[in-house]
């Protein structure tokens, strides 16, 4: 029996099992769901055991558990480490869900539930692919390890320490992750770059109290005016960040990578219309996909202060705030970038204002050489199942733990995702297209054989 027939015969059973897992509200960000996260970890451990994995362990951390397992009976063959996460995002706003987020529903050949595509559905594919190989061939073509965490949606606070402490036990020849997307239906993609991240909060203060704009207007500094003036110094009129040294560690795009971006065939005019914009925006000399995938950014995520209620209130506000995030590429170091931005802010404080800066999250960028043999084997596997070779892409988002895996284990990381960009991950009505569920199982089996 070939694997296609095998998976077709067990499709209903597999989907019912996935529904069980998706029905557990493993929301890592909400403390009231701590027991649910543990329940989801235990469900995962049981599923790994039933699939034939060995040494299945639920490791407790200061937060939520990390589940590990392995099957190491292929001497002389490579070892593949599968990483993923079983925690999910909160479901708000609940009223926008067409069906309850933890009552998995299949309609129009899609399974709807929180976690369906991010990331329970995709992790589940790896479990069933390994199970299929063991049942069909009584052995695996590789050694395999699983490391599945319950805190990815809250920036993986305990995983880096766990990786440091268990580096030898988790050693492998390649890390395999399914937590990304195809380019579009029928067009697979392999992400070879993720932007890093850093963030900071800025507060401007002037007088020791809000002041009457009639009595004091024109005679004292205004915190809102000051923060607008300050923030305007962060970019020039060509879309570039004006912070000194910001681009020092940013590599220029190679002709090969630019060619991969062209293959994505993004219709910028249609995108502009779909978003209701008069124009797109960004650095001169780069396309939309290059700006969002391979160039660094500095974005204002929130600017606020003064009176914001209904009607008017004639005050001069004493304080104003801004929240800033940066997406990083190449060899940009988050701490170095934060320090450069803070120096810029202090050097450009308007007269009469005082500034304070709080540095917050930090995550390193990740990039892979597209000539890596492991990436080429992944591309071969996609080509075998989908009938088309995947495009190598750079994703504008950040998954900081990906860089951590590569750096600590010194191995290539293959991002072999089976989601689609419109599957509403992190939003109401999250879903997973079952065509990619079916093809994903076959692609993972093919990749393990290729390796």
Could you say which DSSP state residue 234 is in?
A: G
Let me know if residue 224 belongs to a domain. yes
- Do 19 and 105 meet the contact criterion of CB atoms below 8 Å apart? no
User: 316 and 176 in one domain?
Assistant: no
How many domains does the chain contain in total? 2
Please check whether residues 174 and 97 belong to one and the same domain.
yes
Q: How far apart are CA 15 and CA 54, in angstroms?
A: 23
Q: Which residues contact 117 (CB under 8 A, 6 or more apart)?
A: 419, 420, 423, 425, 430, 431, 432
Residues 183 and 222 occupy one common structural domain: no
Per-residue pLDDT tens listing for the chain (451 residues): 699 999 999 999 999 999 999 999 999 999 999 999 999 999 999 999 999 999 999 999 999 999 999 999 999 999 999 999 999 999 999 999 999 999 999 999 999 999 999 999 999 999 999 999 999 999 999 999 999 999 999 989 999 999 999 999 999 999 999 999 999 999 999 999 999 999 999 999 999 999 999 999 999 999 999 999 999 999 999 999 999 999 999 999 999 989 999 998 889 999 999 999 999 999 999 999 999 999 999 999 999 999 999 999 999 999 999 999 999 999 999 999 999 999 999 999 999 999 999 999 998 999 988 899 999 999 999 999 999 999 999 888 888 889 999 999 999 999 999 999 999 999 999 999 999 999 999 999 999 999 9
Model pLDDT, residue 1: 64
Same domain, 356 and 302: yes
Both 57 and 162 in one domain: the answer is yes
- Token pair for residue 287? 């396309």
Closest CA to 67 of 36, 51, 45: 45
Same domain, 321 and 176: no
269, part of any domain: no
- Residue listed under structure tokens 């299949």: 106
In a domain, 278, yes or no: no
Determine, yes or no, domain membership for 259: no
Residues 216 and 153 in one domain: no
Q: Give the H/E segment covering residue 346.
A: helix 334-347
State residue 398's pLDDT score: 81
Cα–Cα distance between 178 and 117 in angstroms, integer?
10
CATH number (domain holding residue 99): 3.40.630.10
Contacts of 273 (CB under 8 A, 6+ apart): none
Do 24 and 156 fall into the same domain?
yes
Domain of residue 430 covers 3-193+366-450
Residue 335, phi then psi, degrees to nearest 5: -65, -40
Is residue 275 situated within a structural domain? no
Chain Cα centroid distance, residue 203: 29
Q: What is the DSSP letter of 57?
A: E
DSSP percent split of the chain into helix, strand, coil, nearest 5: 35, 25, 40
Cα–Cα distances (Å) from 144 to 14, 298, 433, 448, 451, in that order, read: 21, 40, 27, 9, 11
In a domain, 160, yes or no: yes
**152 and 226 share one domain:** no
- Does one domain contain both 119 and 207? no
Half-sphere exposure of 233 (CA within 13 A, CB side): 16
Which of 313, 329, 363 is where one domain is finished?
363
**Both 324 and 224 in a single domain?**
yes
Burial (CB < 10 A; 0-12, 13-18, 19+), residue 303, is middle
Q: Is the dihedral of CA 92, 394, 270, 112 positive or negative?
A: negative
Residue 326 belongs to domain with CATH number: 3.30.70.360
Looking at 335, 363, 391, which one is the last position of a domain?
A: 363
Q: Does residue 212 sit in the same domain as residue 333?
A: yes
pTM here?
0.86
**Taking the CA of residue 299 as centre, how many other CA atoms within 13 Å lie in the half-sphere pointing to its CB?**
15
305 in a structural domain: yes
Residue finishing a domain among 363, 397, 419 = 363
């Amino acid at each position: 029996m070939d694997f296609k027939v095998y998976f077709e015969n067990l499709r209903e059973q597999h989907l019912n099992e996935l529904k069980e897992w998706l029905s557990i509200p493993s929301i890592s960000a909400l403390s009231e769901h701590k027991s649910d996260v543990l329940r989801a970890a235990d469900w995962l451990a049981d599923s790994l055991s039933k699939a034939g994995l060995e040494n299945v362990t639920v490791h407790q951390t200061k937060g939520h558990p990390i589940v590990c397992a392995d099957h190491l009976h292929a001497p002389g063959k490579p070892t593949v480490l599968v990483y993923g996460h079983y925690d999910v995002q909160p479901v708000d706003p609940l009223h926008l869900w067409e069906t309850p987020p933890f009552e998995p529903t299949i309609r129009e050949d899609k399974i709807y539930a929180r976690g369906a595509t991010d990331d329970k559905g995709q992790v589940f594919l790896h479990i069933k692919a390994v199970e299929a190989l063991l049942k069909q061939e009584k052995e695996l073509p590789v050694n395999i390890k699983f490391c599945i965490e319950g805190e990815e949606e809250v920036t993986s606070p305990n995983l880096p320490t766990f990786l440091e402490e268990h580096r030898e036990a988790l050693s492998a020849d390649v890390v395999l992750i399914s937590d990304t997307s195809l380019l579009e239906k029928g067009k697979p993609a392999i992400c070879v770059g993720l932007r890093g991240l850093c963030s900071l909060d800025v507060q401007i203060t002037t007088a020791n109290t809000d002041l009457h704009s009639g009595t004091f207007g024109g005679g004292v500094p205004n915190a809102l005016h000051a923060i607008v003036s300050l923030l305007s110094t962060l970019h020039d009129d060509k879309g570039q960040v004006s912070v000194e040294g910001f681009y020092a560690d940013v590599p220029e795009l190679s002709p090969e990578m630019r060619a991969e971006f062209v293959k994505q065939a993004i219709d910028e005019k249609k995108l502009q219309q779909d978003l209701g914009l008069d124009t797109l925006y960004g650095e001169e000399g780069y396309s939309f996909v290059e700006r969002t995938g391979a160039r660094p950014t500095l974005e204002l995520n929130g600017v606020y202060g003064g009176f914001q209620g209904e009607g008017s209130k004639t005050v001069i506000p004493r304080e104003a705030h801004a929240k800033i995030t940066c997406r990083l590429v190449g060899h940009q170091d988050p701490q170095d970038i934060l320090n450069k931005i803070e120096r810029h802010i202090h050097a450009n404080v308007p007269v009469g204002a005082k500034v304070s800066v709080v540095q917050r999250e930090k995550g390193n960028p990740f990039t892979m050489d597209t000539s890596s043999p492991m990436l080429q084997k992944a591309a071969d596997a996609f080509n075998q199942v989908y009938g088309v070779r995947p495009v190598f892409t750079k994703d504008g988002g950040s998954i900081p733990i990906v860089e951590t895996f590569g750096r600590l284990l010194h191995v290539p990381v293959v991002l072999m995702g089976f989601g689609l960009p419109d599957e509403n991950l992190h939003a109401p009505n999250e879903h997973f297209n079952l065509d990619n569920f079916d093809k994903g199982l076959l692609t993972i089996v093919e990749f393990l054989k290729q390796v």
